[in-house]
Structure 1
Amino acid sequence: MPQSRTAGLLAIYPHITSRDRLLLQLLDDHHVLTTDQIHRMLFHARRTCQIRLSELAALGLLDRFRFARDGGGSQPWHWTLGHNGHRFQAAAHNRPEPTARTSRQTVQRLSANPHLTHLLTTNEFFVRLTAHARHHPDAQLDRWWSETLTSKQYRTITADGHGLWSVDDTNVGFFLEADTGTEALRSRVVTKLDRYAQLIRRGGPRYPVLFWLHSEQREEHLHRLLRGKPGDVPAATATHHNDPADAVWLPAGATGRVRLTALPSDHGQPVADNPNYDDGVFVL
């Protein structure tokens, strides 16, 4: 009698570690991570990371793709869920089991997504906070929400992500706007602050909006534009080459840079925008 699909998946379970399960959940939530990003978050030795990723790919839990560099050579491997990874996550979250065709299409669409660079940039921000916390016991990334989950909770804003960051007894929430240098700052980026202001007026959280920018020139330009905006929404900027956990954030209207935990943060009423919130617990 042929082995059922469920039994085939169960046969993989003895090979899945707690670290593997964390990685599968991260990829389920955030779609794609590079080898380097996974190494910094979950492994000590890069070679160990590479070997384990290859083993998970052989089990069908992960899939990968990469592109050629314009100047020669190849970009790093981009890792996402493989078919068995999709099946495992579907079982873990009581979702319908995907077909092999659906899993293939998901990877193909992700690899061809014109916003892939932006997604990796957004994920890199949170990867750096996670990696920083690994080496600083007083720090912790308590929440990492994707754009999709953030939109479900706060339906009128279009943040690239949302997080809660703690150092010692100080906790700050934030919304992330990750910039890859392709959007017009005046017409696309600055106008987003109006939606954050509306969220605050409805009793939602007054979290700082973090503009993580492509270059120092973009940062200077944005601060010139922010001078004409109302101060209802706390906003701060930094550039990609900095560690977001360090004192690199320049608040709008300020002259000195501060750490993330020094930015004003008011949690407001987290149930204000989403009826799926029940006693502070988000219900998917």
Structure 2
Amino acid sequence: MPLSQTSSLLAIYPHITSRDRLLLQLLDDHRVLTTGQIHRMLFSARRTCQLRLAELAALGLLERFRFSRGGGGSQPWHWTLGHHGHRFQAAAHQRPEPTARASNQTVQRLSANPHLAHLVLTNEFFVRLAGYARRHDDARLDRWWSEQVTTKQYRTITADGHGLWTANGVTVGFFLEADTGSEPLGRLVAKLDRYAKLIRRGGPRYPVLFWLGSQQREEHLHRLLHGQHTTVGVATAIHASEPADAVWLARGATGRVPLAGLPSDHGQPVADNPNYDDHGVFVL
């Protein structure tokens, strides 16, 4: 039975599992995930995932929304923190407790955000890496930072996300630029100036990954990159590919390599972040 907006969080605790807490943290960090994304990261059976999400929604820990598709049918459910989820995370991180009105406004603004599709796409990239790591013992998503955390840590850049990926004992860092096709490619190339500035300041020399919607757009971007003089490493792949696999085409290269095969220089460590462990690593 759904709890009231003013129910004590203590009454919910017996219903919250360690997996639930991880999901609440993921949604606190990354704002929204679809049913399929949550399933691939945290559950083995899709039906079990669907039932558990419904239970968490009944407890007020989660909220969900979805829109109709242009050609008929509906988009997948999008999940975000409900009021009690916001309260729980605020208590966990010693933040002021939100009001029910504030929590409701957060959900409404997220659902109506014109950049929602871009946010879901960005999260999809990291979800695929996390899902790959679940299936391969020698792979691990060590860090998944949102645009907000990445900007706070590095200041100079405005990447869509930042991560550390380990495969076969090799750890690489990267910055992600998830492309929905709404921006001219020239504007994407212009973003490299900010990454070059970060390198000049002594920051990490991580490759910038352009994740593109089509092979045609990828080819066009490489034509624009040809002859560009920059200290920034660039690699491209398309949305249909598995980002952990040998799908990355570096600027000027003729063959594709896996994500762990891209050159990466970690530079100076970033500042501590309270949402991650003592090593600055978020582990699924």
TM-score above 0.5: yes
SS of the residue corresponding to residue 211 of structure 2 reads strand
Question: Do structure 1's residue 42 and structure 2's residue 52 form an aligned pair?
Answer: no
Q: CA deviation at 1:216?
A: 0.6
Residue 281 (structure 1) shift: 6.3
Asked if structure 1 preserves the Cα contact closer than 8 Å seen for 2:159 and 2:175, the reply is yes
For structure 1, list consecutive stretches of 5 or more residues without a partner in the other structure: none
**Other structure's SS at 2:8 match:** helix
Task: Quote the residue 1:63 is aligned against.
Answer: 63
Question: For the structure 1 residues 133 and 281, does the alpha-carbon distance in structure 2 shift closer, same or farther, using more than 3 Å as the test?
Answer: closer
State percent identity of aligned pairs.
77
Could you give the per-residue CA deviations for residues 126-157 of structure 1, whole angstroms, max 9, x where no partner exists? Answer: 00000000000100000000000000001010
Tell me what 2:155 maps to. 155
CA distance in 2, matches of 1:166, 1:184: 32
Supply the AA of the counterpart residue of 1:211. F
SS at match of 1:244: coil
Distance 1:6 1:263 in 2: 50
What residue ranges of structure 2 are gaps of 5+ in the alignment? none
Query: Is contact 2:5–2:83 with CA below 8 Å preserved after alignment?
Result: no
Distance 1:73 1:275 in 2: 44
Change over 3 Å in CA distance of 1:184–1:74 after alignment to 2 = same
1:130-187 superposed Cα distances (whole Å, 9 cap, x missing partner): 000000010000000000000000101010000000013200000000000110011x
* TM-score, L = length of structure 2: 0.93
> Which residue of structure 2 lines up, in the alignment, with residue 255 of structure 1?
254
Alignment correspondent of 2:223: 224
Q: In the aligned structure 2, how far is the partner of 1:21 from the partner of 1:253?
A: 44
2 CA distance for matches of 1:36 and 1:7? 30
Find the aligned partners of 1:75 and 1:105 in 2 and give their Cα distance: 22
1:199 corresponds to which residue? 198
Query: How far did residue 5 of structure 1 move?
Result: 7.9
Q: Give the 4+ runs in structure 1 shifted more than 2 A.
A: 4-7, 274-277
Q: Deviations over 1:218-258 (max 9, x none)?
A: 10010001113124101000000000000000000001000
Aligned to 1:185: 185
Separation (CA, whole Å) in 2 of partners of 1:156 and 1:118: 21
In the superposition, the TM-score normalised over structure 1's length comes to: 0.93
